[in-house]
Amino acid sequence: MTDFGKALAPVPTPIEGLVVYDLPVHGDSRGWFKENWQREKMLALGLPDFGPVQNNISFNDAVGTTRGIHAEPWDKWVSVATGRIFGAWVDLREGPGFGTVFTTEIDPSKAIFVPRGVGNSYQTLAPDTAYTYLVNDHWSPDAAYSFLNLADETAAIEWPIPLSDVEISAKDLAHPRLADVTPIPPRRVLVVGAGGQLGTALRAEYADAPWVEFATRADLDLTGDLAGARRWRDYGAIINAGAYTAVDLAETDAGRADAWAANVTGVAALARIAAEHGVTLVHVSSDYVFDGTATEPYREDAPLAPLGVYGQTKAAGDAIVGTTPRHYIVRTSWVIGEGKNFVQTMASLAERGVDPSVVSDQIGRLTFTDDLARGIRHLLETRSPFGVYNLTGGGTPQSWADLARTVFELTGHDPDRVVPVTTAEYFDGAAGPVAPRPAWSVLDLAKIEATGFEVRDAAESLREYLEA
């Protein structure tokens, strides 16, 4: 009999992410009514905003009808419209929970959220039972399923009605035992712009993760048909490691068009895919979204005020990504990675006996790409709250001239060979257009540190980088 009068409440289970919900059912002599799915109330109780796109109903005539155990690559919200079932769920996902079993009875006063990769099965305990489920992907013959035999000895499900006495399909009877099940892997992660400095660091960071894919500009054209480029529901995250970063060239007619194409139009295409398919979008932003007039480190909620075209395109990209339900905007500054960069240039000049003039009125902190990649992985794996996070090296802010002197000193050369100049002096007589630079690029790191991420001192990272 349906249990009337319960309050809406979640009940956790031993399987991670599998949650039973008590549903309020209101009834009288005429029958009953319930809110079977109420997004606002259920999200407030911690249910993931899983974005259902299809509603299915399985009607069962007889008591003892038994179905499963099927693990699909999508999430499900399962309930009973009429009748009653004994449900059994087995975790078939890769990881330490593989093989964990949970069973319970479900009537119209209960529902259960079944995460992707958890095997689902049930046995009807009343005639004319209607088993209903919302799913967040359309059925596809290309989807990768896993199955478990209903009689598996390891799972040892105690079916109320013996399997020998019930209706089961031949296909369900032929499913493998737990030892032979292919676990459902995690949702894939796609790194876009994988050929650049950050992309290279992400390749190293995720070298142990076979579910991470890497795409260069040649592999994935963000101006093309992204909708058909991948089966996007199989992806949990897209990391946008690519950007147009030629800040001075962006001030030219051709450069301006290229900067907007890469940093805005391409980002908008990724944001559209992320929003439509429930994918987390990780986007790397820049200190150039600020005008550099602050006297304290910029917090994540500081007003944007870009000075030049590059900064304007990055600010526009941030605004677009911020509209997606699941996003991390990782704002950084003064990035150093593999390939040509400021540190390598200074080290080369020191070795060749060149005494460089270096800007002394721009203040910030270096960010090494391996730390940036580590921070991105941290946000994703800890499921930190979505939003904007500053991520740079830590320690005392310095000017470019200060950093150049440090490079000279660490490579065994006289740091006084570095000649400090103002930005105006450095670019005086420049042959082409010069983008305005923020004079103050120091970002506040308290928010990302509060997630448990350990920010490395930029000076120590610089030392290790030069010693490598």
Reduce the DSSP state of residue 423 to 3 states and report it: helix
Angle at 212 between CA 206 and CA 216, to 5 degrees: 95
Q: How far apart are CA 168 and CA 166, in angstroms?
A: 6
Q: What share of the chain is helix, strand, coil (3-state, %, to 5)?
A: 30, 25, 45
Q: How far apart are CA 420 and CA 435, in angstroms?
A: 20
Cβ atoms of 127 and 163 closer than 8 Å: no
Reduce the DSSP state of residue 347 to 3 states and report it: helix
Task: Tell me the residue length of the chain.
Answer: 468
Active site amino acids: 70, 133
- CA dihedral of 358, 331, 366, 422, whole degrees rounded to 10: 20
Handedness of CA 362, 363, 369, 375 (dihedral sign): negative
Which structure tokens are listed for 83? 């009748």
Q: Is the peptide bond before 69 cis (omega within 30 degrees of 0)?
A: yes
